[in-house]
Chains A and B, each alone.
Chain A
Amino acid sequence: MLDYLLFGALPYVALAVFLIGSIYRYVFKGFQVSSLSSQFLEGDQLFYGSQFFHWGIIMLFFGHLIGFMVPSAVVAWNGDPVRLLILEFTAFGFALSCLVGLLLLIKRRLTTKRIQMVTGPMDYVVYIVLLLQIISGIGIAYFGRWGSNWFAAVMTPYLRSVFAFNPNVDLIAQLSTSNAIAMLMVKTHIASAFLIIGIIPFTRFVHFLVAPVDYLWRRYQLVIWNWNNKEIRKSRNYFPGKSREFNN
């Protein structure tokens, strides 16, 4: 029953809340969409914590994404045990980097008075679910070897079934039950992943939705005409103005 709640219902609740909440916050609470950086109040401890954490989690995110998008390629890569070990150890390294960074950030937030002044309840929620997520992920890598192999057989079909609106909860139950710890870790990892997705609109997680990738291809200077006189003169233009021009 709990399985059906966590893996059959929670995904849809989380995704619905994520979609509606994020769009609402972006459109109607634009001022509150921010990474809420606290580097200005404390920069030295932030450097190591933030760098380790962010680079680790970005790599893990794309690793998971590749596993979901092209599972056959991952399985093919893992055909050679050496390559499998390279993949697993690299991923494990990024997970450790992520964990170390997160612990440094938590320590910083708890012990710096200035940072305490800009800390809200949701910051602690974020830390708790992230800890849960990273520790369970590390647990899977350690107890449930080799995740990058069985991911293709279990997780990819399960996630596809979720997106096909026909969640196949049995896939999770079919996981080897010989290793109870690994089983618990996997379930925790999946459930807390959907939990993270669900709380994105209510936390500082929103900042990765607005990651500035378009900066890479835009021109440096940005000039905005609030009311472009040249366009006003064109009487056939029903909605003049509002032009955004990426040049000097």
Chain B
Amino acid sequence: MNIRSQISMVFHLDKCIGCHTCSVACKNVWTDRKGAEYMWWNNVETKPGTGYPTKWEDQEIYQGGWEKNGDSVSLRGAGKLKGLKNIFANPNMPVLDDYYEPWQYRYQDLFDAPEGDDQPIGRAVSLVTGEPMEVQAGPNWDDDLSGTPDYARKDVNFKNVSAAEQDAMFQLERMTFHYLPRICNHCLNPACVGSCPSGALYKRGEDGVVLINQERCRAWRMCVTACPYKKSYYNWSTGKSEKCVLCYPRLESAQPPACFHSCVGRIRYMGVMLYDADRIEAVASADEAELVDRHLDIYLDPNDPEVIKAARANGVHDSTIVAAQKSPVYKFVKEWKIALPLHPEFRTLPNLFYVPPLLPAMASVGEDGNYDSVNETLLVGVEKLRVPISYLASLFTAGNENKVIDVFKKLHAVRVSRRNSTVGDVSEQQLNTCMNEAGFDTHVANAIYRLTSLCTYEERFVVPAAHREESIEMLESAHDYKGNTGFGFKERPARGL
């Protein structure tokens, strides 16, 4: 057993209102720079939709992630031979137009325009070339389905959804969508790290944050291709790749990242998970049907004395173990099993889990064009969901529909249980049926309800400090720098010649 700690996340999609506050917080802190304007380390997508960059989930195009190769995994479009062969020009790499060309408006023209018959306008100018441009796309132009079926119909996840189900969904498409906020998953088996020819990418041993060493990055661009979530970005100005750093300076001082802190819907949870690093290869190469189960099995019970002992022996700090015991992520993912990884079939073992959106059909447009309620009661079962289960299974379970249904039964049971205790119009038989199907009692239902709806800041974010008193030691060996002040000299991020 080789126990390590991993900072992990849960996003509760039923709570996401798609306000993009997380994206803006991240943009203002990290990517408001030349060469990084197009990057959204945090972005919010509308599903169904094509996402950012366009069709990022389609690995036929981008060749990202790992594929099963016997008892191990190999990179799909990168790696030693495939990667180095493409190092001079990589045909699978997304280019600027796959994201969007960033622009700014010439606001000054509004003030400087001479008096005339027409309203002055501020034209869009490219942030790359500085020339006037016709804006073709933006980072969230399929927001709220964008008033057109064009984006939704191109969603890659409809591969396994039958034509009839799709028609039913698009008949309702004006009201059937949910949001999918995405950041770097800080995977246990990161494809970006595996693909980096110069070894610039690495996973931090202490907390599992995946970072790019800006001084070692040589712009071979393999991480951009290899990351199946397209969360590694190339800065065209500095000639270095960049990615979400999980606001590690904040993490080290026991604060959640900016996107977590600013989340208006409070959909985000962050906590520590203890896992067995020796099992990564075996889990990543599991059969697709059991991929999710094997993935969740790699996380260990932080209250198990054996696990605690092994974690201590492996150098995990006591405060980290305490944080793991209070981790909201552990509750969602392991105890209640209502959070699932995004696209587990990419085999990177992501550490960001989603509580899938329970979208019950309240009403639909009938043949006569009228909008009619389809249910007699407020709470409908899993069978009347607006989104086809096969669609969500394509997102969260590599196609295993039963796993999604299991989660929905639990989420549904929580609602029935709460309805029963607050309004009391639920029959005992219905309550018992729901609880049996969910496999828990009202105590658990209340606990889920509490952490979902009434959670405090401290309950949502249980981040162990990296011990500020030792923080210099996170970066440098203190003995080497005895007598120095600060972190020594750092160079400006100037582009090479």
Closest A residue, CB atoms, query B315: A229
A248 CB contact (under 8 Å) in B128, B196, B281, B477: B281
Q: Report the bound CA distance from A238 to B190 in whole Å.
A: 33
Q: Let me know if B218 and A34 touch, CB within 8 A.
A: yes
A2-45: CB near B (< 8 Å → 1, else 0) gives: 00000000000000000000000000111111111111111100
A120 contacts chain B at the CB level, 8 A cutoff? yes
Contact B496 A204 (CB under 8 A): yes
The stretch of A71-79, A111-119, A183-191 that contacts the partner chain:
A111-119
**Complex Cα distance A114/B80, Å?**
31
A residues less than 8 Å from B118 (CB atoms):
none
Residues of chain A within 8 A (CB-CB) of B159 are none
- Partner of B89 from A46, A113, A120, A122 at Cβ < 8 Å: A46
Please give, as numbers and ranges, the residues of chain A lying within 8 Å of B239 by CB-CB distance.
34-37, 118
Task: Tell me the minimal C-beta distance from B450 to chain A in angstroms.
Answer: 34
Known: A34-B240, A35-B239, A222-B193. Contact between A113 and B494, CB under 8 A?
Answer: no
Chain A residues with CB under 8 Å of B217's CB are: 34
CB distance from B251 to the nearest CB of A (A): 13
Which residues of A are found within 8 Å of B436, using beta-carbon distances?
A: none
Residue of B220, B224, B480, B492 near A239 (CB, 8 A) is: B480
For chain B, residues 329 to 370, give those with C-beta under 8 angstroms from any C-beta of chain A.
Answer: none
B434 interfacial by beta-carbon distance below 8 Å: no
Q: A221 to B95, Cβ gap below 8 A? A: no
Interface size class of B (residues with CB under 8 A): 35 or more
- CB <8 Å contact, B80 and A224: no
Q: CB of B493 within 8 A of chain A?
A: yes
B201 surroundings in chain A (CB, below 8 A): 222
Bound Cα distance A35, B200 (Å): 14
Nearest-neighbor residue (CB-CB) of B93 within chain A: A39
Please determine whether A227 and B95 come into contact, CB atoms closer than 8 angstroms.
Answer: no
Mask: chain A, 211-231; 1 = CB below 8 Å from B; 0 = not: 010111010111111111110
Closest to A239 in B: B477
The interface stretch among B169-177, B439-447, B467-475 is B467-475
Max count, chain B CB within 10 A of own CB: residue among A28, A41, A120: A41
Given A30-B215, A39-B95, A41-B95, is A215 in contact with B84 using a C-beta cutoff of 8 Å? yes
B residues 94-149 with Cβ under 8 Å of A?
95-96, 128-131
Residues of chain B lying within 8 A (CB to CB) of residue A38: 236
Of the candidates B84, B129, B491, which one forms a contact with A28 in the assembled complex, judged by CB atoms under 8 Å apart?
B491
A residues whose Cβ falls under 8 Å from a Cβ of B? 28-43, 46-47, 50-51, 53-55, 113-114, 116-118, 120, 122, 202-204, 206-207, 210, 212, 214-216, 218, 220-230, 238-242, 245, 248
Sample 9 A-B pairs with CB under 8 A, ordered by A number: A35-B218, A51-B89, A204-B496, A220-B79, A221-B203, A226-B204, A226-B205, A238-B479, A242-B477
Binding site for A on B (CB under 8 A): 75, 79-80, 83-84, 87-91, 93, 95-96, 128-131, 189-190, 193-194, 196-199, 201-206, 214-221, 224, 234, 236-240, 277, 280-281, 314-317, 470, 473-475, 477, 479-480, 491-497
